[in-house]
A and B are shown apart, each in its own frame.
Chain A
Amino acid sequence: MTSLETVESFVEGAPPGELADVINDIKSLTINEPEIVSQLGPAFEKYNEEQFVTVKLPGSSQKVIISSHSSLGDGRYYDVESSSSFAFDHATQKASGVQSYVLEGAQVDLVKSTLKSLSTYVKEHFPSASYGVYPIENDSKVAAIIVANKYSPNNFWNGRWRSLYIFDPSSSNLEGSIKVDVHYYEDGNVRLLTNKPITGSASSGTGAGVVKEIAAAEKKYQEELNRGFTSLSEGAFKGLRRQLPVTRQKIEWDKVASYRVGQDISGGSARR
């Protein structure tokens, strides 16, 4: 692996909300080869588009999503709800050059009705999230994206929920994925990474129908995930190390240190 490929993999692995920290570390480690950081543009673009990075447009309080599905090429992206397009700097994650952008084409009605229903759904279940709906693949399909971030670096944790759905009106198929990424790093480094593929169908073909299917899939998934925590805690975790020996007593180390074969050292002896 070249040095550039190595640091590109570091960028790709940056936890939610910690890209700037990772870049600072990379800069410090490649201080003698500053050209490496200057070549990270494509890696930043990939990270921003895959992680559905959000950005506030100048003069607006609403955050809009960066993704390959909302890309216009040449570093410009668009947002349907605010009817605007903008330039995005992948290195600084800043937007500029906002212009009016009016969506046209065969899927305009479906995009707008999905967006309306998605807005209602997101407000009901995400305290803070951004969302977007875009026509893709030459107006043959519609992509819906939800991304929720919560950063608490002062408490050493950050989290991201991101979902992507592709609806094909010709087959009514809905396919997508939900990915959760949680990082906890106080005196350690703990990471939750999940990936759940979604397949379903929205036979009504309406925006409301699509979002109803999304809502059901996400509810079901979150319940499964909560059961996953329980199952790992009660299963694998318990099976690795007991909280106490079978005797429910700590070890009597004074006995162990002068141990002879066959002696009971696990506490719980007549003395207790």
Chain B
Amino acid sequence: MFPLQHISRSNSPASPNAPDNLRDCISYWWNLTADSNNAEQRIPVESDPKLRNMASADPFDSALDLLRRLDPKHTTSHLNSLIQLAPDLTEDLLSSVDQPLAVRRCPRSGREYLLCDYNRDGDSYRSPWSNEFDPPLEGGAAAAAAGSLPSDKVRAMEVRANEAFDMYRELYYEGGVSSVYFWNLDDGFAGVVLLKKEAKPGNANEGTWDSIHVFEAIDRARFTQYNLTSTVILSLSTNSHGLGDMDLSGNMTRQIEIELPAESDEQQIANIGKLVEDMELKMRNLLQEVYFGKAKDVVGDLRSVGSLSEGVREREAHREIIGSMQR
């Protein structure tokens, strides 16, 4: 019922040089997979032009490519348009395209929770706080859903994880909503950690942050293998008389794979917590760099605030000074 479409289980054998401390491990794998300038070592995501330009264009790949080009502020409406255009792709697209998370209030606990494909059954969503579907599933649907609910052991971990990430949310987001959903795998378990925060409405600066961390925890002989795919959807906008409208929106995705010892359920949750915390720190820095560094630099490449000829004269004068010093 819950296909792990976010994660491709590629076999990446552990290098003998891999460090064994967690944080170093994460940096090690991160560098190996995400930051490396060596294209051969990159995770082959769709943005790789070599993959994109392959002659046979699969409609699903084309749909994903299109979603990576069109205004990310309106991914949901583009997604709906694509589904209308190619109904065959509906399930694949809905399960692999991350959209801003919707919030609902759990009728039993009164607490807010987040909706995604992983806690959905038809038109109902399971609350992580009560473990109940809203609206409640009827007869046959309820029986069918029972088979896909996490086992008692995994549900117990899910409850702990929800408490842990609720504290994480308070410490890092100082507000917002969090939800964690787990499900069983044949050789372990999997889950999704969701966090959402909206900037206070009424402010001149508007913003929304959605984090979607999908992971698998696969049992191995002496350790657990974690495959984590994280997406952050960040929308920012501001307007004023002098500035006009400015919208800076988008999403970024990163993956890591790591092997860690996990001898107890507590250690599983601690491992997942550390992985998500480190990933979010990395991604926050990356978003900062792209949104406020790269985007601003490109504007500066398009138009120079200062005079270009003066810049040239200054550089020439500089060169002359250096030249005269060398003589």
Contacts and interface: CB of A to CB of B under 8 A. Distances in A.
B58 A185 contact: no
A30 B85 contact: yes
Contacts of B41: none
A189 to B, nearest CB: 4
Interface centre among B66, B84, B199, B308 (most CB of A within 10 A): B66
Contacts of A41: none
B156 interface: no
Contacts of B207: 232, 236-237, 239-240
A184 B292 contact: no
Interface in B217-259: 234, 236, 238, 240, 242-254
Interface in A218-254: 218-233, 235-237, 239-246, 250-251, 253-254
A197 interface: yes
Contact of B270 (A187, A227, A235, A257): A257
A183 B69 contact: yes
B302 A160 contact: yes
A241 B172 contact: yes
B84 A6 contact: yes
A21 B302 contact: no
Interface residues of A, number: 91
B105 interface: no
Contacts of B247: 191-194
Interface string B295-318: 110110111110111000000000
Interface string A174-198: 0000101011111111111111110
A195 B245 contact: yes
Contact of A193 (B47, B71, B81, B254): B71
Nearest to B249: A191
Interface centre among A227, A231, A257 (most CB of B within 10 A): A257
B151 interface: no
Contacts of A149: 302
Contacts of B248: 190-192, 229, 232
A228 B277 contact: no
A7 B63 CA distance: 12
A231 B85 contact: no
A188 B251 contact: yes
Contact of B49 (A30, A153, A193, A195): A153
A159 interface: yes
A26 B207 CA distance: 31
A75 B19 CA distance: 64
Interface stretch (B110-118, B123-131, B138-146, B283-291): B283-291
13 contacts: A6-B81, A18-B69, A29-B62, A123-B309, A159-B301, A189-B68, A191-B72, A194-B247, A218-B303, A226-B305, A237-B287, A241-B173, A253-B277
Interface of B: 34, 45, 47, 49, 52, 57-59, 61-63, 65-73, 75, 78, 81-82, 84-86, 160, 163-164, 167-168, 171-174, 197, 199-200, 203, 205-209, 234, 236, 238, 240, 242-254, 266-267, 269-271, 273-274, 277, 280-281, 284-285, 287-288, 290-292, 294-296, 298-299, 301-305, 307-309
Given A124-B308, A159-B298, A188-B47, 13 more contacts: A1-B84, A3-B85, A14-B70, A24-B57, A29-B82, A184-B290, A188-B253, A228-B246, A236-B206, A250-B277, A257-B164, A257-B270, A266-B171
Interface of A: 1, 3, 6-7, 9-10, 13-15, 18, 21-22, 24-31, 123-127, 129, 148-150, 153-154, 156-157, 159-161, 178, 180, 182-197, 218-233, 235-237, 239-246, 250-251, 253-254, 256-259, 265-266
